[in-house]
Amino acid sequence: MQAGAADEAPPADDDRAAELAPWLEEEVTPPEPLPDDDTAPDEEEDDEPAPPSSSPAPPRHAAATHNPATAQHRQRTHMATSRPYARTINHGQPAVQGQSPPAGCLPADVKAAHARATLAVMPFHPFLLVFSVVMLFAAAVSVARARRGFRRADRMEETPTTRLADAREGLIEVSGTVRGAEELLVSPLTDRRCVYYRFIVSERRARPAARNGRPTVESAWERLLDDRRSILCRLEDEGAVVELELQGAEVFLQGRVHAESGTFHDPPEALERLLNLRYGKSARGLLFNRSLRYSEDVITEGARLYALGHAVRQPGGALRIQKGEGMFVVSDRREADLVRRFRREGRMAAGVAVFMVVLAVVIPLLPVHPFW
């Protein structure tokens, strides 16, 4: 009865071993079965051999003796459950294509080995190397911009503000009321008399592009001209005077003026005439007006200016602030506002650098890439 019951169906472990069979690259020699308790040698007994018995004793496990298939299934189940890390994974892929492992049958160490094998044989696309190099180069540029922003903010905070009467040669930081030392300029857009102006004209142009793999057309603003002009001026404060040469200065101004012209919006006649005579440009196209955008920065006479630059003594004895070694900043804003601006630019550039480095490192390590 016992042998017949054993031949009817294998134990529940057989199904689990059958599911794990495709994942085994080669069978591992099963460990030797442990001896029975009755047949284990006793170290305390004498070494004399026991006299042979006239009749052999019946086996304890009659089912295993009479059913070799059951014993084989048990050995496979033992191999699959006792030391799963001893098995070899075929490059991280199942032996049977399209077959997934049974749920709950892979321990953590097998999953880790599967991940390591997958990374080891992961195909490397040449574009990934180019992508990483480009990202690292962009990160280096952003780091340089971040350092420049923080360094400029620190230099402005470290340089003390000097009264015009106490100004000396070298890097100085002063403030005063601006007066023109030469004939004043006339701004192109607003027609104001000034010591400095910057006039920028940009045009909206359409260009071909691709979005989601489909060709499309995008519009962007392209700069047509950038006209910057200035005259020699003076800074006055409490009766003291220092000359200021705006050529080559970084100018940060408030109150920028904007204007636009387009298909149904004609530019002023004076502006159209100025574009033609001075710059050789026109706001009108063949059939319709061109989409143009104008912006203008102006320093008018009598404005209060902040200046950080290199002061040099002129042959006539006057002290002039001009472009030299180090920073040269002119603005109608307060020093604290400029410091906050430079630090904000530094933080933004540092964030961009970190993001670029993460992309350069993480994208090549992903198990699935959009480039494959």
Residue 226 lies inside a defined structural domain of this protein: yes
Sequence letter at residue 119: L
Q: How far apart are CA 155 and CA 250, in angstroms?
A: 15
Are 91 and 155 contained in the same domain? no
Are 84 and 228 contained in the same domain? no
> What six digits make up the tokens of 14?
């057989």
Residue 49 lies inside a defined structural domain of this protein: no
Question: What value, to the nearest 5°, has the Cα angle with vertex 293 and ends 291 and 294?
Answer: 145
Residues forming beta bridges with residue 241, ordered by sequence position:
236
Are 85 and 177 contained in the same domain? no
Are 21 and 141 contained in the same domain? no
Residue 203 lies inside a defined structural domain of this protein: yes
Residue 162 lies inside a defined structural domain of this protein: yes
Are 321 and 249 contained in the same domain? yes
pTM, 2 dp: 0.61
Domains in the chain: how many in total?
2
Residue 372 lies inside a defined structural domain of this protein: no
Are 110 and 132 contained in the same domain? no
Q: Say whether 161 sits in a helix, a strand or coil.
A: strand
Are 108 and 145 contained in the same domain? no
Q: Say whether 65 sits in a helix, a strand or coil.
A: helix
Q: How far apart are CA 195 and CA 151, in angstroms?
A: 30
Are 85 and 104 contained in the same domain? yes
Domain ends where: 75, 92, 120?
120
Are 196 and 303 contained in the same domain? yes
Residue 269 lies inside a defined structural domain of this protein: yes
Task: Quote the domain boundaries for residue 216.
Answer: 127-365
Strand-pair category, 233-237 with 214-230: unpaired
Residue 56 lies inside a defined structural domain of this protein: no
What is the maximum alpha-carbon separation in the chain?
135
Sequence letter at residue 213: G
Residue 181 lies inside a defined structural domain of this protein: yes
Spell out the per-residue pLDDT of the chain, length 372, in tens. 444 444 444 555 556 555 555 554 444 455 555 555 444 444 444 445 555 555 555 555 444 444 555 555 555 555 444 444 444 444 444 444 445 555 455 566 666 666 655 555 455 567 778 888 999 999 999 999 999 999 999 999 999 999 998 888 989 999 999 999 999 999 988 889 999 999 999 988 877 777 777 778 778 888 989 999 999 999 999 888 999 999 989 999 998 898 888 887 888 888 888 888 888 888 887 778 888 899 999 999 999 999 999 999 988 888 999 988 888 999 999 999 999 999 999 999 999 999 999 998 888 777 655 444
pLDDT for res 279: 87
Which DSSP helix (H) or strand (E) runs through 156?
Answer: helix 126-158
Are 257 and 325 contained in the same domain? yes
Are 200 and 90 contained in the same domain? no
Q: How many residues are present in the chain? A: 372
Q: Say whether 248 sits in a helix, a strand or coil.
A: coil
Are 136 and 231 contained in the same domain? yes
Identify whether the C-beta of residue 308 lies closer than 8 Å to the C-beta of residue 328.
yes
Domain ends where: 95, 120, 145?
120
